[in-house]
Every structure is written in C-alpha cells, then in structure tokens.
C-alpha cells in the first residue's frame, strides 16, 4: 500500500470513528473491541491510532497482563466484568479472556479440563454481552514467523522500542507450533454468528491497520444514526442572540448531510481497494 494512500484512507476512517463515537454519547450504544494476535503483530500500533482519533473521555483501553494473586483466586472471567463498557463508551481490550485458551493452555497454567471447558464459558459470556446490547468486535492480528523475527531484531536495535522486547517473547516463539494449534482451536470453537472472529494479516502494517479500521467502522457504525443532535428551547434562542445567527444559519449547522457525507466517504475510501 502506498504510504500517501494509507495516510489518506486512515484519516478518513478515523474521522468516521469520531462521528460514530459522538453518536454513541448520551445513548445506550456501547462497544467492546477484543484484540488478540502474535507478539509484534501490531496491536499496540492499532490502539495508538484509535487513541489519536477518539475522545479519551469515552474511549478506554485495558492492557491485560497475567492475573495477580487476588485475581488467580477468582474465576478467570471475574476480572473482566468491571471493565466492560458503560453506555456511550467504546472499550478496547489489549489481550483478553482468551488467555485461558491460549497462553494458559500452552504454558500449562490451566488444566486440560479447565481450558477445554473455557470454550463453552467464553461463548456464554459473549452471548451475555451481545444480548445486553454491547457491540463486540474480535480481531486477531496474524504475522508470519519470519516477519516476527525481523521485528524482534528491529526492537532490539532501536533504543526507543527496546522496552517492548522481553525474554518471554523468545520463549513463546520457541513454542510457535503449540500456539498455532491453540489459536486454530480458539477460532474454530469461539467464532459464533453473534461474535465472529476477524482475521487480519499484518505483515504489512499499513494494510493491517486499514483493514482493522474498515471492520470497526462497519461494525460499530451499522444502524447508528449520525444525524446531529437537535438544538432545543432556550439554548437555541440564546445561541442565536449571542452569535448573531439567522434561522438559515442554524438550519445549515444542524443539517445531517455533512456527517452522512463524511461517513459515506470513509466507507468508500475503505472499500475502494479490495482488502
């Protein structure tokens, strides 16, 4: 993907997400983004670009690490309930409850009975979320082993990025085939009609980001009205008086056409090239 084309399309999609986020405010709409993927597959970069576009007052990111001692004493899903989106919010999980059937399975931190039972538990948990009105979007970012080792090298040689690299990254890589099997089982057993998985190739970072943003605009914006909120009563009168606006000025400012054009343009940009 040409860099200038990438920048143009990303800006358009970010603008569409801004409009969608604004449309959520003051409504019962809420969304949950689940990000899983190989180490160095681009989860952090995608989250940063979401953060550049969205208002942090109603966009929250939860990086999920290993459970602490208190959390290990609870059911593994317990720690996620308090981090679910409230009305009007968009929340992103950088890794998630799928750790039970990925790292905990591969590293032997959960028994076979526990991680096999988790597929049913996760499907039931996600059904509760979607039944309650949460828009759930699950993305898995995929890279090849050769691309991962190249990114490891780049991180090691770049002082600014070196903090991202850990011993566990190389230890996990040594078990690539085990994780591959676990990932395939996870997708097969937890991709449901209500909560499907979206698999995104990210060897090329710009391509992967545009593909992810396209999915988010489509899933989070489906059926959402982008009409501007009406201005009522005393506020309208005071605004006209203070700003010296005419009735035609107010009508033009309240027109839904501008927002709809922006969203249509963003979707057209996303679909202008097959992804």
Give the CATH number, domain containing residue 138.
3.40.50.300
**Does pTM surpass 0.85?**
yes
Under a CB-based contact definition with an 8 Å cutoff, are residues 10 and 48 in contact? no
Smallest Cα–Cα separation from 93: which of 72, 124, 65, 70?
A: 65
Instruction: For residues 32 and 226, give the distance between their C-alpha atoms in angstroms, rounded to a whole number.
Output: 20
Q: What is the pLDDT of residue 158?
A: 86
Per the domain annotation, does 111 fall within a domain? yes
Confidence of residue 162 (pLDDT cuts 50, 70, 90): confident
Per the domain annotation, does 81 fall within a domain? yes
Q: What is the pLDDT of residue 273?
A: 47
Per the domain annotation, does 262 fall within a domain? yes
Under a CB-based contact definition with an 8 Å cutoff, are residues 34 and 96 in contact? yes
Query: Is the pLDDT confidence value at 272 over 60?
Result: no
If you average pLDDT over every residue of the chain, what do you get? 90
In this prediction, residues 139-150 reach a mean pLDDT of: 96
DSSP for 208-248, please give it: HHHHHHHHHHHHHHTT---PPPPP-HHHHHHHHHHHT--HH
Domain assignment of residue 179, given as a range? 3-228+257-271
Per the domain annotation, does 116 fall within a domain? yes
Query: Is the pLDDT confidence value at 49 over 60?
Result: yes
Per the domain annotation, does 237 fall within a domain? no
Reading phi first (left if > 0) and then psi (alpha if -120 to 50, else beta), residue 42 is in left
Per the domain annotation, does 246 fall within a domain? no
pLDDT tens track for 57-106:
999 999 999 999 999 999 999 999 999 999 999 999 999 999 999 999 99
Query: Is the pLDDT confidence value at 265 over 70?
Result: no
DSSP class of 25: T
Per the domain annotation, does 247 fall within a domain? no
Per the domain annotation, does 153 fall within a domain? yes
Reading phi first (left if > 0) and then psi (alpha if -120 to 50, else beta), residue 88 is in left
pLDDT tens track for 208-252:
999 999 999 999 999 998 877 776 767 777 887 888 878 777 667
Domain count of the fold of the chain: 1
* Higher local confidence (pLDDT), 259 or 13: 13
């Amino acid at each position: 993907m040409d860099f200038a084309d990438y920048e143009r399309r990303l800006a358009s999609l970010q603008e569409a997400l801004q409009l969608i986020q604004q449309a959520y405010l003051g409504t019962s709409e809420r969304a949950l983004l689940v990000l899983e993927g190989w180490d160095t597959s681009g989860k952090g970069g995608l989250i940063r670009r979401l953060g550049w576009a969205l208002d942090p007052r109603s966009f929250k990111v939860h990086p999920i690490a290993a459970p602490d001692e208190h959390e290990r004493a609870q059911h593994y899903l317990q720690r996620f309930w308090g981090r679910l989106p409230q009305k009007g919010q968009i929340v992103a999980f950088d890794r998630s409850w799928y750790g039970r059937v990925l790292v905990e399975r591969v590293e032997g931190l959960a028994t076979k009975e526990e991680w096999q039972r988790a597929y049913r538990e996760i499907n039931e948990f996600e059904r509760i979320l979607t039944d309650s009105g949460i828009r759930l979007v699950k993305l898995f970012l995929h890279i090849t082993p050769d691309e991962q080792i190249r990114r490891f090298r780049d991180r090691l040689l770049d002082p600014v990025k070196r903090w991202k690299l850990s011993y566990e990254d190389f230890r996990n890589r040594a078990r690539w085939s085990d994780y591959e099997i676990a990932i395939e089982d996870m997708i097969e057993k937890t991709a449901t009609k209500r909560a499907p998985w979206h698999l995104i190739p990210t060897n090329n970072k710009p391509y992967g980001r545009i593909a992810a943003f396209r999915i988010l605009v489509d899933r989070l914006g489906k059926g959402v009205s982008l009409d501007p909120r009406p201005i009522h009563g005393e506020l309208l009168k005071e605004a006209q008086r203070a700003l010296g606006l005419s009735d035609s000025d107010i009508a033009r400012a309240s027109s839904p056409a501008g927002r709809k054009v922006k969203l249509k343009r963003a979707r057209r940009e996303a679909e202008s090239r097959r992804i």
